Structure 1
Amino acid sequence: MAKPAKPSGVHKHRFTAMGTPCEVQVETRNSKLATELARIGEAEARRIEEKYTRYKPTGIVWAINNAGGQPVEVDEETAGLIDYAGQVHALSEGRFDVTSGVLRRAWKFDGSDRVPDAEQVAALMPLIGWGKVRWERPRLTLPPGMEIDLGGICKEYAVDRAAMAMMAQGDCPALVNFGGDLRTTRAKANGRWAVAIESLDPAKAAGGLLHIGEGAIATSGDAKRFLLRGGKRYSHILDPRTGWPVEGPPRSVTVAARTCVQAGTLSTLAMLLGPGAEAFLKAEKAEAWVLW
């Protein structure tokens, strides 16, 4: 997980959204403008959380998941996210699948040794598969019992949306960081933003520093979410085609890209490819840091 270092002369606004610590940093001498921009960023995070959470009946994902097999018409923003999810599903050959969230019923990645029975996982597999979903823009129909979960896209999407909303209201340098996935609006006046990469060693606060001007960084990893049984580590990175953890993934993949959605997609796909992570990132010509 990437965490911004603490630069001087920058206004900082912290809050919690999407179940994760969030921070907006704004470099300006105008404290009133900094406050306004930070609140715009927070408002966008909360809007997206309310709209796409699967836990509360506040938005479209809840409506889709509770439609009982009936079609649900979605708005243009949601249609764009669903289109993107479908594109990534195809690109990943089914490794990325927004219908795979039901696997949480079997897998609890709490650091314990409670690995589910094969029968428990197998019972969920009929409820997984993007190919079973009927998507005729703007109407989406889920077979009864299936769910979609856009959590694999939404945090990075929220970062991008917050950064763009802030840029629309002010041109001062800013950094949006939601749970370690971040984007800057442009370089700081005196140079680049310093970003600390979380160390895999609990004894170390950071694993190194990156310096970025304008762009985004996202990290995927299993440093904190895993199971351990008989000396074998079970990553929380699940292959929806099998219902079981990906074999031999990196511990962490950090990617820099133009947008946070791009960075997050590349880091996630790299993790899903397990031992093939670095070859994939090299083929994509991605600026990336892989820890094993």
Structure 2
Amino acid sequence: MQHARKFTIEKDKNEYRLLFSAMASPCEVLIEIPSDSHTTEILENLVNNLACIITDEVWRIEDKYSRYDPHSVCSLINSSQGQTVSIDKETYLLLNFANVCYELSDGLFDITSGILRKVWVFNGSDNIPDKAQVEAVLPLIGWNKVKFAQQAITLPSGMEIDFGGIGKEYAVDRCILLAKEITEYPILINLGGDLAATKPRENNKPWVIGVEHPGFENKTNMVVSLYQGALATSGNAKRFLLKDGVRYSHILNAKTGWSIINAPRSITVSSEQCVQAGILATLSLLQGENAEAYLDDQEVKYWAVR
């Protein structure tokens, strides 16, 4: 996939702000420079180096795992027509993580369920698929039908995988690791609302994070103070269908092919890593009305909006 691969850098007092687009989302990186730090020229070189490394890594992951890119690993696997495809270590580790999530969720989280988009189009309309349409797709869903090992994967013909449920969070964690190798300055990486911080700001001050309220107008956005670690949000505020007073979420049950009902509008989870926060937010929504109880059992900090 071709990108403009452009970014901008803004400076405000002792903070640099890197802005770019990736994974269909606005992205930003905040870099706080302590007041007693180096000369301007050294700082600008450091920030530019960070900007290049972080954006290159995000775009690399997007290009490698996007199902929209015909040259990606994801597309190569999806077009294999049942033939075995060689994979590298990074891809194996992502697939293994997806396998763990599948098992932990008793099959509710399934990276082969993206094919349900052929019958579900979440555009705010009342166009609900009928039972026959959903059941026609179900035979093409089931991670347990996929064979994979450290160096290869075999996907049954007609099935697809989609890394969208873990890709952005994985990119956040990768960039945090790279940033820590380059500088000890406090950094916050935000990829479309999935984010993480390397450490607190100067004088042990937290990063102040605004989380958009998933409801209607006149609702106050939530503000979270984050010292370090990650936040990830999952919800159905913008992707849903509405028919006869029933709201159909884009969060789909991979077993039945139908929307999860009675789930919160939004779940934000805090964890040490973004992939952990993201998958916990998603798995909790898949519990429907039991979302909060599920997260209570995990003993993690979270915010739910119904």
Relative to the length of structure 2, the TM-score reads 0.91
1:260 maps to 274
SS at 2:202's partner residue? coil
Shift, 1:209, TM fit: 1.0
Separation in 2, partners of 1:218, 1:7: 26
Shift, 1:8, TM fit: 6.1
**Structure having greater relative contact order (Cα 8 Å, sep ≥ 6):** 1
Q: Give the total of aligned pairs.
A: 287
- 1:226 pairs with 240, 248, 257, which one? 240
Change (3 A) 1:271 1:147: same
Aligned-pair RMSD on alpha carbons? 1.5
Which structure has the larger Rg?
2
Separation in 1, partners of 2:222, 2:268: 12
Separation in 2, partners of 1:99, 1:199: 30
Does the 8 A contact of 1:196 with 1:206 survive in 2?
no
**Is 2:209 the counterpart of 1:195?**
yes
Identity percentage of aligned residues: 45
- 1:15 pairs with 3, 17, 20, which one? 20
1:145 maps to 158
**Is 2:48 the counterpart of 1:43?**
no
Shift, 1:166, TM fit: 1.4
SS at 1:124's partner residue? helix
SS at 1:239's partner residue? coil
Does 76-85 or 23-32 show the bigger shift? Answer: 23-32
2:109 maps to 96
1:80 maps to 93
Report the AA paired with residue 26 of structure 1: I
Separation in 1, partners of 2:13, 2:230: 21
In structure 2, list runs of 5 or more residues that go unmatched.
1-10, 38-42
Does 59-68 or 237-246 show the bigger shift? Answer: 59-68
Dislocated runs of 4+, deviation >4 Å: none
Does the 8 A contact of 2:57 with 2:171 survive in 1?
yes
Q: Deviations over 1:215-236 (max 9, x none)?
A: 0000000011100001100011
**Is 2:220 the counterpart of 1:215?**
no
- 2:296 pairs with 251, 276, 282, which one? 282
- 1:24 pairs with 23, 26, 29, which one? 29
Does the 8 A contact of 2:146 with 2:156 survive in 1?
yes
Shift, 1:200, TM fit: 2.5
Does the 8 A contact of 1:27 with 1:34 survive in 2?
no
Taking the TM superposition and a 5 Å limit, the aligned residue runs for 1:34-73 are 34-73=47-86
Report the AA paired with residue 281 of structure 1: L
Does the 8 A contact of 2:176 with 2:196 survive in 1?
yes
- 1:119 pairs with 110, 122, 132, which one? 132
Separation in 2, partners of 1:206, 1:11: 27
Separation in 2, partners of 1:257, 1:39: 27
Relative to the length of structure 1, the TM-score reads 0.95
Shift, 1:162, TM fit: 1.1
Shift, 1:69, TM fit: 0.6
Separation in 1, partners of 2:72, 2:91: 10
Shift, 1:38, TM fit: 2.3
Report the AA paired with residue 259 of structure 2: P
Report the AA paired with residue 92 of structure 1: S
Separation in 1, partners of 2:227, 2:19: 22
1:3 maps to none
Shift, 1:204, TM fit: 4.4
Separation in 2, partners of 1:204, 1:183: 28
Does the 8 A contact of 1:198 with 1:205 survive in 2?
no
Report the AA paired with residue 125 of structure 1: L
Report the AA paired with residue 22 of structure 1: C
Shift, 1:152, TM fit: 0.3
